[in-house]
Chains A and B, each alone.
Chain A
Amino acid sequence: MTKVVGARVPLVDGPAKATGKALYAADLVRPGMLHGAIARSGESHARILSIDLWDAMKEPGVAGIITGSLYPRRFGVLPITRDETMLAVDKVRYRGEGIAAVAATSRVAAERAARRVKVEYERLPEYADPEESAGPVAEPIHAGTEGSTNLQKEVRQEFGNVEEEFRRAAHIVSVRGKFPGVTHAALEPHATLAEWGANGRLTVWSSTQVPHYLHRALAEVFDLPAHQIRVVKPTVGGGFGGKGDPMPHEMVAAALSRETGHPVQIVLSREEVFLLNHGRHPTRNTLRIAADAEGHLRAIDLDALIDGGAASSFGTVTTYYNGVLSVGPYDVPAFRYRGRRVYTNRPTSGAMRAHGSVNTRYSMEVALDMLAEEIGVDPTELRLRNFQAPFSTTVNQFRITSNSAVRCLEAARDRSGWRSKFRKMPLGRGIGVGCGFFISGSNSPIHFTPRFPQSTVHLKLDMDGGVTVHSGASDIGQGSDTVLTQIVAEVLGLEPGQVHVAATDTDTAPVDLGSYSSRVTFMMGNAGRKAAEAMLETLRTAAGEISGRSPDSFRAVDGVLASDEGGGVKVPFLDAVHRAMEHRGALQSSGSYESPKIGGSFKGAKAGTSPAYSYAAYIAEVSVDLDLGAIHVEKVWAGFDCGRPINPLLVEGQIEGSIHMGLGQLLGEEMRYRGTRVMNSSLLDYGTLSAVDMPEVECLLVGEADPEGPFGAKEAGEGPLPPVLPAVANAVYDAVGIRFTELPLSPDRVWRALRERERKGGLQKPPSPGGS
């Protein structure tokens, strides 16, 4: 039994956050600091003919100005698609792209000067429609795309005999889904402070999810050895994928500091954050499923067209994920996918919580609901017939380990009273189900691959028995520092208060791939556990020396090293520490995590492989206002398998937060465009859900320990999001008998569908499945 692992330990940085003492990047001040502002393009696609900086330079307080031609080196989070520059070079690709940047003595002065940068453009054809971008175009947005199109990435995969399965199928269901883009809307706007030291060393404090990727990108852009750069992650006010890429403003702050010799801070405005975007891709998909007479899935045939916006970002991964993350949580003997991601002249899309899986999952779960109805079987029963087995292999060679999908669904079904509600409530009331699965980190890292560990953790134990933990994993609010604290405390038998995780600083933290793809608990957790176990070995040896018992007989618990040998003995932790330190000083240890060798050997085989997958089954109950079209989500029962939770308090927080974000996308959030122009670049107009909009959520953590997870844990950061959208959409179908395959289900869209249905013969509940 564990004491600290598995407990509801509050965030270790909670008190700092609750008192306003936690420092975010925008809160930092350095002596002599200047403020940076970026002049942005008002054109979506245009060649830059000239940039006139004269008026800007005359503004009071201006210390320096740069343009893109000074720093033309390309960067991008994926090494295979470096297609961004810190400021536009020669042409602009979206409205809002940086043209020039100013450093001045105040934010107001910098913004005033940035507004006075004059640019002469030659307009080029604008591409807002992904269909158009997929074909030949007059002026490709980026050079080097195939056949004069705007196609950034195409994926074609086929496993099993898809044609044959569809020919033999007893049932075929198809869904055409249309999904607008949504964005992270982390409450903290991006901010960066860069300082070029007199010794030529660059320090950058930035609100980033991945300090070591930023570190690497800075080295490339400024052509510096990485050891000449230090990246520090202060407290980060939420990321959700939006702070995972190295971003242009981070490079700009460093460049302005180099030009002016002063530290330079850039804090993006909320409008700039919307234009930076990198959110969930606008997507159209067509999904067909084939099933036998009993409803066993035989094949999936999927096509996705993904609007990537102006740059690649994580888009190659997104293109794979839209396909390959449909091979779970159900067993599918055949699978075919074509995915295309195209550039358009809209702000770049990238990775957002439950990256690449949400829109496909929606279409899949709606299709399963339709299949259940066609066969006449309860949709929860249909899913139970199809869940993939624990410790199995998928048709595309994903290795499946622990899998409690069945328990998730049974728990949600029992707690929700499903059997007495499904198809049995009055018109306007409904209940629906949706399931999902998600990776616990990508098995194949983007950088530092494949010879280096995915995560390394260092420990330092000093004279007083306190432990300092160095990790580059990057707490962005999800509580990874707390999880790491718990793991180290558990192994060493200490109270969490004796363990201190040092803020991520690339000078002291070993390389870690940071906070994305739900990798942190699994990978950092395993590295932390190994580091702590290595430390424990040293202390056991010391305890053995003190007591004469064999080192292996000691276990660490409650601040002592206890052995049952020879009638039993307890060596105080500090005694063991001091013994071990004799003639050597502070104790250090290190642990690392390398992902296993898994997956196929075909092109793209690594995409979607993970050492473990979370599973989820949600049931949602809704009422639909038949007069106004508003959907009111009454309650969500969230069955979730994150293995054995290290901290149930934080896991619940991830589930509840994911449901907030998922419901937002389903019910109203949308990046609205007129052509290439974003029409709602403010939190006021974008419309996230507030406290009065949220349903009650019941978290059902029913997973069993994963054999490779740290203390049996798997991810809980992203997998909790996708199931809620189709669960609610299927509940809406149960309530009013209307299928929605275009998001969002905003009151106007629902209202129109209700009125249309009334005109065409009246609203009514859908038929009950026979015999359930």
Chain B
Amino acid sequence: MRFRVNGLDYDLNPEADRLLVDLLREGFGLTGTKRGCEDGSCGACTVLVEGEPRHACLTLARRVSGKEITTIEGVSPGRLSHLQRSLVDSGGLQCGFCAPGMILTAVALLRRGKPTRDEIREAISGNFCRCTGYAKIIEAIERAAEEGPTP
């Protein structure tokens, strides 16, 4: 079975009940995708499947074989995107455990155009952060949106 992750092909036959988050982390060594809650409530496992945010902890791996999957490792290999830079510079991450999921949610949001502050809040309301109180994350996404649509 072939999986296309961050533009690379991986061949592996996961068990029928294998979750995408486990395949990415344990199968492919892409540990940037985090396990936070196991029930889809925290968003730490968010990845993009065909450009849309998905909970990798609620997605059976086999269901996304052949589809374009983007994890945090594939957002901007080798350098920081301006969204990532903005998140760091604005203090939008502390412990960093939510950052991969938060960034992928924001990538999908920013690709749809320049969001309002309320649209940002709404978009990231499924990504739980226990450290920042969200203010600086929202500010970081706003700043990144100023710089253009392809974060």
Contact = CB atoms under 8 A, between A and B. Distances in A.
Contacts of A8: 91
A238 to B, nearest CB: 4
Contacts of B135: 656, 694, 696-697
A650 B128 CA distance: 19
Interface in A475-493: 476-479
A188 B34 contact: yes
Contacts of A80: none
A436 interface: no
B61 interface: no
A682 B36 CA distance: 10
A188 B100 contact: no
A11 B140 CA distance: 14
B72 interface: yes
A336 B23 CA distance: 59
Contacts of B89: 10, 14
Interface string A235-250: 1111010000000000
A656 B84 CA distance: 20
A653 B93 CA distance: 9
A691 B138 contact: yes
Contact of A683 (B34, B37, B122, B138): B37
Contacts of A683: 36-37, 39, 41-42, 128
Contact of B93 (A14, A23, A188, A682): A14
| Best-surrounded residue of B72, B75, B133, B137 (most CB of chain A within 10 A) | B133
A697 B122 CA distance: 18
Contacts of A691: 120-122, 124-125, 127, 129, 134, 137-138
B52 interface: no
B136 interface: yes
Contact of A657 (B84, B94, B124): B94
B133 A660 contact: yes
Interface in B101-151: 103, 120-122, 124-138
Contacts of A240: 130
Given A18-B93, A19-B73, A652-B91, A238 B131 contact: yes
B88 interface: yes
A189 B131 contact: no
Contacts of B34: 24, 187-188, 237
B31 A20 contact: yes
B96 A18 contact: yes
A657 B131 contact: yes
A656 B121 contact: no
Contacts of A15: 80, 84, 88
B97 A187 contact: yes
A186 B100 contact: no
A653 B130 contact: no
Contacts of B133: 653, 656-660, 694, 697
B5 interface: no
A270 B128 CA distance: 14
Nearest to A187: B97
Which A-B residue pairs are the 9 nearest by beta carbons?
A20-B32, A477-B95, A17-B96, A237-B97, A20-B72, A14-B88, A656-B133, A660-B133, A27-B31
9 contacts: A11-B91, A15-B88, A17-B96, A18-B80, A19-B76, A188-B97, A476-B95, A683-B36, A684-B37
Interface of A: 8, 10-11, 13-24, 26-27, 29, 184-189, 235-238, 240, 267, 269-270, 476-479, 649-650, 652-653, 656-661, 682-684, 688, 690-692, 694, 696-697
Given A187-B34, A238-B94, A692-B121, 10 more contacts: A10-B89, A18-B103, A24-B97, A26-B31, A186-B95, A186-B97, A267-B35, A270-B39, A691-B122, A691-B138
